[in-house]
Amino acid sequence: MLTSKQVIALLQGAGSTLQLTLLAIVFGIVLGLFLALGRISRNKIINTICWIYIWIFRGTPLLLQILVVYYALPQYGIMLDAFPSAIIALSLNSGAYLAETIRAAIQSIDKGQMEASKALGMSYYQAMFKVIIPQSYRRLIPPVGNEMIMLLKDSSLVSAIGMAELLRNAKVMANSSADAVFYVYAAVIYLFFTSLLTLMFQRLEKRYSIYE
């Protein structure tokens, strides 16, 4: 039987996990959008910089990125607590993955849309933000949903820097009581969150599907 303190600890950990996920996906989408625009830019320098960024963050483990932000940055005078370090690392990683998703969605829009926008006197960026991107968001619903679910699960990696999220709180209670059942409780909470997100994005996809 769980005590009230144990329930509170699990709920607090779950709240931290959910907060991490929501903030990281928001920052990741914003970063991913600018990286995607950089990847389709005709400016070779901007294109190359964005490509290198995506290559690095998609090609190295997320846990390593979390450790670098938390342990390496202080050596250069940037002192961060566990929570902002976790947000930064998760957002930077998510942005790299979402950049390619957003780029593909943007490039899937018929080129005639851009040509028509320019014919109406719009600049490249006006056409992009007023015409192209608003049409591509529907294509982003399934992959963004998948990325958010991955972030929710990957947020457990921040326990490596001592942040009191769901998995760490479960681990602390399991170690202190010598009872592994707390891992089961954590798994149930993760399953609840992932199921809720899956259902939410399925409904969004059904409502805004471009394939109907």
pLDDT in tens, 96-142: 999 999 998 888 887 777 778 878 888 877 887 788 877 777 788 88
Res. 212: pLDDT tops 50:
no
120 is a domain residue: no
Q: How confident is the model at residue 184 (pLDDT cuts 50, 70, 90)?
A: very high
| Residue 197: inside a domain | yes
In tens, the pLDDT along 116-128 reads: 887 888 887 788 7
What is the domain range of residue 166? 4-107+135-208
Torsion of the alpha carbons at 179, 184, 187 and 191, rounded to the nearest 10: -160
Q: Which of 176, 195, 162, 193 is nearest to 14 (CA)?
A: 193
What mean pLDDT is predicted for residues 185-209? 90
Report the pLDDT averaged over residues 7-17.
92
The answer to whether residue 142 sits within a structural domain is: yes
**Total structural domains within the chain:** 1
Mean pLDDT of all residues in 15-26: 95
Instruction: Report CA-CA distances (Å) from 191 to 22, 61, 172, 187, 205.
Output: 17, 23, 20, 6, 21
Is pLDDT larger for residue 108 or for residue 161?
161
Confidence of residue 196 (pLDDT cuts 50, 70, 90): very high
Query: Rounded mean pLDDT of the chain?
Result: 90
- Is 117 contained in some domain? no
Q: Collect all residues with Cβ–Cβ distance below 8 Å to 163 and sequence separation of at least 6.
A: 16, 82, 83, 86
- CATH number at 167 reads 1.10.3720.10
Domain contains 116: no
Residue 112 forms part of a structural domain:
no
Domain assignment of residue 87, yes or no: yes
Residue 129 is assigned to a structural domain of this protein:
no
